[in-house]
Structure 1
C-alpha cells in the first residue's frame, strides 16, 4: 500500500498555529502536527484534544519527567522500554507509582508552555500526520480552546518579562544583598532559585528543571523585580 501522506500542510505564515489547532479540534482529528523551521516542535492530538506538545525551545519529555520529579532515571528507562512494546509512557509511569494528579499537572504545564512557544510568530512549515500516535499516550487530553486561552495569556505576560529578560542566554546569580529586611519565596520559586549558580544560562536551568521557558523566566522576572537575583554582569550593590 502507498504511504499515507499528510492530511493538512502549509506554513504558519499562511495559516497561524491557533487556526490550525482549532481546525483539527473542530474535526476531532487524531494524529501528530509537526512543525519544521526556526522553531521546530510537535502537537499530538487524540479525537481533537491535545495529549502533548513539545518545542525544541523547551525541555525534552525526558527532562520534563526527571526535572519535575515525576520519575527517576531508572523509571524513565523502564517506561521507554515499555513504550517500545507498545505501552504508553503515561501508563508505565503510573504503574511505577506516580501520582495521577501530579502527572496530569506536569503534562498540562508542559503542553501549555510548548503551545505558547510554538505560537510565537514564524513562517515555519507544518504538516498534520493523521493516525500517528505519540509515545506519551492519550491517558490525559487537554481541550484546544483552553490551551490557546492559557497560551495567549502567557504571550501577554511575556511582553513584560522580555523587557527585563530579553534572552535565555543570560546568566543569573543571587544578589549580594536584599533591598529589604525580608522576602517570601514560594516552593516553586525556590525550585528555580536553588539552581542559580552564576554560571549556568537560563536556558540550561530550563532544561535541568524540565520546566518551560515561560515558567522559569516568570519566576526570575519576579525575583529580579524583588532584588533577589541579578544578572552576573550587573554591577555589585553596596556592601
Structure 2
C-alpha cells in the first residue's frame, strides 16, 4: 500500500523511522520544486539513495580518486539509464574495473550524503511505493536508518547556523591572505583542502565539484573561515543563476524521468513539457510525455504525442507500438494493426511484446486463429526467458474462447506458478474452473486472488456470483457492495442482484433504488423491468425473477509498452 504525505506535516526523520520499524521494502520518493530524491529500502534497511541532477555523481568521485579512468566512465555511462549510480556500480564490479572495497566505500558515502541532504528539506511531498521483496544481501550496502537519524539531525541543526553566513552555494568567497598567514590556530584538513579554490572567482558549487567534498563539509569549512575572519564574500556566480540551455534541458528531462518512475505523474508531465518548450525536437521527453498520458488514460493526448514522435526519422519501434496501443484503446483496430506492422519493420531484433500486442488485437476482433499464431511467435521470441504474465493472460483467454478449457487451465496454472501475484491470472483460472464444473475450486482461486488484489472489482463480482448461485445471499451481497464501491458503473447485473437480496430482506425501497440503478445502466433489461413492474402493481410483490449469471473473463491486462 502506497504512503503519501507532505514534509510540512511529517518530517523525513519520522518517515524513515516508520519505514524502518515496519521493515518495509520499496522506494521512498521525496520531491520539492526543481528537485527529487529517492531512498530505497529492503527489509527496513536503506540499500540505495540518490538525488536527481546531483552535481557530484558516483562515477565522478571514482574518477577523481583514480579508481577508474575517464574512458571507463564514459564507455559505461553511455549505456546506462540517466543518473543511475546503482546500475553503474554493479556494472563496474561485473567488468572487474574496480576493487569492491573501494567501490563500496565511495558508494556508501554517496548514499549517506544523499540522505543527509534530504534531511534539510522541510517543504515538499513524499511517496512510498512498496516493491517486490528484495534481499538486502543483493545490495551493495545495507544501512540502518537509525544510524543516519542522529547524524542527520545534527547536520540539520548545524546547517541552520552555517546558513546564516553561507545562505547559497552560488556565492563566491576570497581568502584574506595577511590574516590567514598570521593565524595561530591550525585549520582543519577540510579547510586546508578548499583553500586553493577560494580565490574570488569560483563559487561554492565549483569548490564542491573540484574538491570532491560534500555540501555540508564545504559549508562548514567556509563558515569556520568566515567566523575567524580568514575569508570574505565577494559576490555571486552569474553562470549559476543563468545555466546554459543544454543544462536546463537535461535537468528538466532527468527530473521528469525520476518523477515518472516514482508515479508522480503531474510533476513528470510538467517537466517534460518544459523540455519541449526549450527543445521541441527532444524525442526522449516527447516519448515519456506520451507514457504519462497513457497512464492517465488520456487517449487523445497520448495519440497526438506519439503521432508527433513517430514522424521523426529515427523514432524507435516503441513509439509506434504505443501508438498502436492507443488506437486499440480507442477502438481503431485497423489503424492499430497498421502501426504494429510499422513497429515490427523498425525492430532490430524481434520484440515479443509487439507479437503479443498483435495477439491481443486479434482477440479483440474475434480472430482466434490469428491470436494463437501471434502468441506462438511471441513465445518463440522470448527464447529461454519466461513469458510475461500478460502473455499467459492472452494465451489462456485464446484457449478458453477457442473452447479448449483444459489447455486454458493448464496455461493459466503455468502462468500463476511463474507470476504468483498476477491477480488477473487467478481470476481467469477461476472462471475456467467454474465453467468446467469445479465450483468450489473456483471459489478458492478467487479468494486467493483477492489476497493479491483486494481492489479488483472483477474478482469481487465473480465471487459474489458464485455465492449467489449457492444461495449464500448475505455473503454475496457483501461482495456486490464492494464491486459498486470500486466501480459504480460495473454493470446492471450487480445492481439487479443487490436489489434481489434487499427484496428478500424486506427492504423494498432499497430494492427499488437498486433496480432503478440497474435500469439506468441497461434500459432494455427485461428482468429488471419485470421486477419493478411487479413491485409497482402488487401490494404484496412476488419473488423477483432470479438474475442470470454473466461471469466474464477480465478484459485485456495492462501491458508495459515502454
Instruction: Classify the TM-score, shorter chain.
Output: 0.7 to 0.9
Counterpart in the other structure of 1:47? 43
Alignment of 1:162-201 (within 5 A): 162-179=163-180, 180=182, 184-201=186-203
Q: Distance in 2 between matches of 1:215 and 1:57?
A: 20
Name the SS of the counterpart of 1:148 in structure 2: helix
Q: Does structure 2 retain, via aligned residues, the 8 Å contact 1:71–1:98? A: no
Which moves more between the two structures, 172-181 or 55-64? 55-64
Counterpart in the other structure of 2:288? none
Cα displacement (A) at 1:157: 1.4
Cα displacement (A) at 1:217: 0.6
Which moves more between the two structures, 48-57 or 18-27? 48-57
Equivalenced residues, count: 222
Alignment of 1:74-93 (within 5 A): 74-80=71-77, 88-93=87-92
- Please give the per-residue CA displacement for 1:173-197, whole angstroms capped at 9, x wherever unaligned: 2223135256534544333223333
Counterpart in the other structure of 1:236? none
Alignment of 1:1-239 (within 5 A): 7-38=2-33, 39-55=35-51, 59-61=55-57, 62-67=59-64, 69-80=66-77, 88-94=87-93, 95-98=96-99, 100=101, 102-131=102-131, 138-179=139-180, 180=182, 184-232=186-234
Q: Distance in 2 between matches of 1:208 and 1:45?
A: 31
Which consecutive residues of structure 2, in runs of 5 or more, have no partner in the other structure?
236-562
Counterpart in the other structure of 2:385? none
Q: Does structure 2 retain, via aligned residues, the 8 Å contact 1:68–1:209? A: no
Cα displacement (A) at 1:151: 0.7
Q: Distance in 2 between matches of 1:130 and 1:82?
A: 28
Q: Distance in 1 between matches of 2:220 and 2:165?
A: 10
Which moves more between the two structures, 198-207 or 224-233? 224-233
How big is the alpha-carbon RMSD for the aligned residues of Structure 1 and Structure 2? Answer: 3.1
Q: Considering only CA atoms, is the larger Rg found in Structure 1 or Structure 2?
A: 2
Name the SS of the counterpart of 2:201 in structure 1: coil
Larger helix percent: 2
CA change 1:231–1:56 in 2 (3 A) is farther
Q: Does structure 1 retain, via aligned residues, the 8 Å contact 2:50–2:111? A: yes
Cα displacement (A) at 1:165: 1.5
Q: Distance in 1 between matches of 2:230 and 2:52?
A: 29
Q: Does structure 2 retain, via aligned residues, the 8 Å contact 1:66–1:210? A: no
Name the SS of the counterpart of 2:179 in structure 1: coil
Cα displacement (A) at 1:67: 4.6
Q: Distance in 1 between matches of 2:131 and 2:38?
A: 14
Name the SS of the counterpart of 2:154 in structure 1: helix
Work out which structure has the larger RCO, using CA pairs closer than 8 Å and 6 or more positions apart in sequence: 1
